[in-house]
Amino acid sequence: MGIETGAAWRELRTHYEQVAELQLTQIFADDPRRAKEFSLEFQGLFLDYSKNRITRESLDLLMNLADEVQLSAAIYDMFAGKKINVTEGRAALHTALRAPKSSRIESDGVDVVPQVHAVLDQMEEFSQTIRSGQWQGFTGKPIRNVINIGIGGSDLGPMMACEALRAYSQRNLNIQFVANVDGSDFAEAVQGLHADETLFIVCSKTFSTDETLTNARTARSWLLEQLVDKDAIAKHFVAVSTNTEEVQAFGIDTQNMFGFWDWVGGRYSLCSSVGLAVMVSIGATNFRAMLGGFHAMDEHFRTAPLAQNMPVLMALLGIWYNNFFAAETHAILPYDNYLKHFPAYFQQADMESNGKCIDKSGAEVAVQTGPIVWGQAGTNGQHAFYQLLHQGTKLVPADFIGFAQSHNPTCDHHDKLMANFFAQTQALAFGKSSQTLADEGVEAALIPHRTFTGNRPTNSLMAEKLTPFVLGQLIALYEHKIFAQGVIWDVFSFDQWGVDLGKNLAVEILHQLQSDEASNANIDASTAQLMARYRKGRGAS
Ligand code: F6P
């Protein structure tokens, strides 16, 4: 029996029929207190969710849904280290990565907090030697280039956070990211770099991911082409992993290995040693401030009543559109260029977590689960896809994220940026009626084309400035939103079996592509034809 058979869901369905046609223009006109009442502030992070197609009753009913699925108990279980990642037999304890030293959090009866802080201290010591120039490469030169080799959670998190906090970075260090197995990614990253000034962080939870190991081997060859002596590897490679054996097998000195634990999911691992490149870039003090922001939001999520709980509210609003308005996607639109990788980061976090069609009992779900998450930093998107947001046939709920202060206050750029943020949410919500256009004297034939129906929902998130603390708050906010939605849809949010099939087939196909004779065993006609074309094209048929 799925969630759709419960009383809360059925009541929401009936309620949806009653309110689906409500217009934001009207409900704002009817209630002058709406903006204030449908807003929430937590330690400087402000959420205005008044431009959503909800009434107070909608919220009450959504809260009933959260109660019916026992969301509070699920939150408790996650923080307590219960093995909620059932299909992999693990806890999901990423919140322990940002817990203060004084806390005690157990996994399998062991307090993990001292281990977490020991690794943070190890990271601090290492990043300080790089930042100060004390760490010398094989020829005695300081490191100027740091290249993180990893993919998925071992790439997107540190890449996003390095960019988000670039204003806090040590500018004489060039931090780069190589993820794609496409050789062009590596080739372009090392263009013009000298191996004796370059350090590679091979970042892989499992240390078995083919893309990462392929890039790491190429990096090792590139380094040895220039420095020749194998002893150079110890000075130019460090590893971030849970897999000591494989790190050793690769040839990286385990003295230069930063560990983490199987209770940290890849896409939730930024606060672990996976964030090493970030700490090298912004320094330990800023990194710890970011952890402080994460922890603050963790505590808010863990303790605030559901009706005043920011991640819970955002989760329920997402459910409202995804499951009742049949919205298929959700846009994240940061009005801060430093957050340009934020949508891609949460694309993985959300879609790998809740892109599931099987519920926890093993049955097919009867309701829609995770949305397609996408987005881009403003105002670029306005000149690309906002046409569809304003006048398309699809409903795209969107989160706008903006800041009162810029890290680069240049002339009136920031006022202009934020004017666009405010204008877009206003236009999406309230539109422009045909009557107004007629009153303005717009030619009758053009009126339908120039009408904006409005009633397109948005959340607005604002903070004073994009600091490390605020970034931590924002990331934890979305992490917990995803978790809460997974609880409601009754899916296992912390596994990712859906990535396995393609990965395994690629191994077999690679074998065939690299063998002298094409056997085509187990290959369908279409794929066999494409492979034949590829073989011919590359000159190996
Ligand atoms: O895409 C599958 C996945 O397992 C992600 O969940 C993970 O972030 C990524 O691959 C990289 O994994 P690893 O850190 O083990 O190399």
Span 99-146, pLDDT tens digits: 999 999 999 999 999 999 999 999 999 999 999 999 999 999 999 999
Mind listing the pLDDT tens digit for each residue in 337-349? Answer: 999 999 999 999 9
Sheet holding 329-334, edge to edge: 39-42, 45-48, 458-463, 398-403, 329-334, 372-375
Is 449 an active-site residue?
no
CA distances in angstroms from 372 to 105, 322, 388, 477, listed in the order given: 34, 10, 16, 18
Say if residue 329 is exposed, middle or buried (CB neighbours under 10 Å; 0-12, 13-18, 19+): middle
* Residue-level pLDDT at 49: 98
* Residue-level pLDDT at 378: 86
User: For 520, left (φ over 0), alpha (ψ -120 to 50), or beta?
Assistant: left
Q: Could you write out the DSSP letters of every residue in 412-441?
A: THHHHHHHHHHHHHHHHHH-B-HHHHHHTT
Ligand 1 pocket check: which of 154, 210, 493 to mutate, most ligand atoms within 8 Å of Cβ?
Answer: 154
Ligand 1 pocket check: which of 499, 501, 503 to mutate, most ligand atoms within 8 Å of Cβ?
Answer: 499
**Dist CA 52 CA 317 (whole Å):** 8
The token duo for 452 is: 């904006």
Provide the percentage of residues in the chain whose pLDDT is more than 90: 97
Q: Contact, 50 vs 430, CB < 8 A? A: no
Residue 6 CA to chain centroid, in angstroms? 31
Q: Ligand 1 centroid to 153 CA: how many Å? A: 6
For ligand 1, atom 16, the nearest C-alpha belongs to: 204
Q: pTM here?
A: 0.98
Give the mean model confidence (pLDDT) for residues 194-209.
98
Q: pLDDT class for 59, splitting at 50, 70, 90?
A: very high
Q: Ligand 1 centroid to 155 CA: how many Å? A: 9
Residue 299 CA to chain centroid, in angstroms? 20
Q: Ligand 1 centroid to 71 CA: how many Å? A: 27
Residue 160 has pLDDT above 90, yes or no: yes
Is 481 an active-site residue?
no
For ligand 1, atom 3, the nearest C-alpha belongs to: 152
- Atom of ligand 1 minimally distant from the CA of 266: 8
Q: Which residues of 64-91 are buried (b: 16+ CB within 10 A; e: fewer)?
A: bbbeebebbebbebbbebebbbeebebb
Residue for token digits 């099987």?
358
Residue 380 has pLDDT above 60, yes or no: yes
The residue from 383, 443, 449, 517 that is catalytic is 383
Helix (H) or strand (E) holding 46: strand 45-48
| Mean pLDDT estimate for the chain | 97
Whether ligand 1 lies within 6 angstroms of the CB of 81 is answered as: no
Give the mean model confidence (pLDDT) for residues 43-55.
98
For ligand 1, atom 10, the nearest C-alpha belongs to: 152
Whether ligand 1 lies within 6 angstroms of the CB of 496 is answered as: yes
* Residue-level pLDDT at 519: 77
Q: pLDDT class for 39, splitting at 50, 70, 90?
A: very high
Mind listing the pLDDT tens digit for each residue in 436-461? Answer: 999 999 999 999 999 999 999 999 99
**Dist CA 458 CA 139 (whole Å):** 55
Residue 11 CA to chain centroid, in angstroms? 32
Q: pLDDT class for 540, splitting at 50, 70, 90?
A: low
Q: Which residue type sits at 427?
A: A
Helix (H) or strand (E) holding 135: none
The residue from 352, 356, 479, 481 that is catalytic is 352
Q: Ligand 1 centroid to 373 CA: how many Å? A: 19
For ligand 1, atom 8, the nearest C-alpha belongs to: 153
Residue for token digits 């699920």?
74
Give the mean model confidence (pLDDT) for residues 40-63.
98
- Atom of ligand 1 minimally distant from the CA of 212: 16
Mind listing the pLDDT tens digit for each residue in 491-533? Answer: 999 999 999 999 999 999 999 999 977 777 789 999 999 999 9
| Among 431, 427, 433, 426, residue whose Cα is nearest residue 448 | 433
Local structure of 97: helix, strand or coil: helix
Q: Ligand 1 centroid to 208 CA: how many Å? A: 9
Q: Ligand 1 centroid to 267 CA: how many Å? A: 8
Is 383 an active-site residue?
yes
| Among 175, 95, 93, residue whose Cα is nearest residue 127 | 175
**Dist CA 422 CA 243 (whole Å):** 48
Give the mean model confidence (pLDDT) for residues 202-217.
98
Q: Contact, 435 vs 25, CB < 8 A? A: no
Give the mean model confidence (pLDDT) for residues 266-289.
98
Whether ligand 1 lies within 6 angstroms of the CB of 214 is answered as: no
**Dist CA 280 CA 113 (whole Å):** 22
According to DSSP H, which parts of 20-89 are helical?
24-30, 34-37, 56-68, 71-79
The residue from 36, 394, 416, 503 that is catalytic is 503
Q: pLDDT class for 416, splitting at 50, 70, 90?
A: very high
Q: pLDDT class for 1, splitting at 50, 70, 90?
A: confident
Whether ligand 1 lies within 6 angstroms of the CB of 154 is answered as: yes
Mind listing the pLDDT tens digit for each residue in 353-373? Answer: 999 999 999 999 999 999 999
Local structure of 41: helix, strand or coil: strand
Q: Contact, 260 vs 272, CB < 8 A? A: yes
Backbone angles phi, psi at 260, to 5 degrees: -150, -160
- Atom of ligand 1 minimally distant from the CA of 150: 16
Residue 51 has pLDDT above 90, yes or no: yes
Q: Which residue type sits at 383?
A: H
**Dist CA 168 CA 170 (whole Å):** 7
Q: Ligand 1 centroid to 351 CA: how many Å? A: 13
- Atom of ligand 1 minimally distant from the CA of 203: 14
Residue 63 CA to chain centroid, in angstroms? 25
* Residue-level pLDDT at 520: 78
Whether ligand 1 lies within 6 angstroms of the CB of 266 is answered as: yes
**Dist CA 341 CA 380 (whole Å):** 13
Backbone angles phi, psi at 332, to 5 degrees: -115, 120
**Dist CA 280 CA 37 (whole Å):** 42
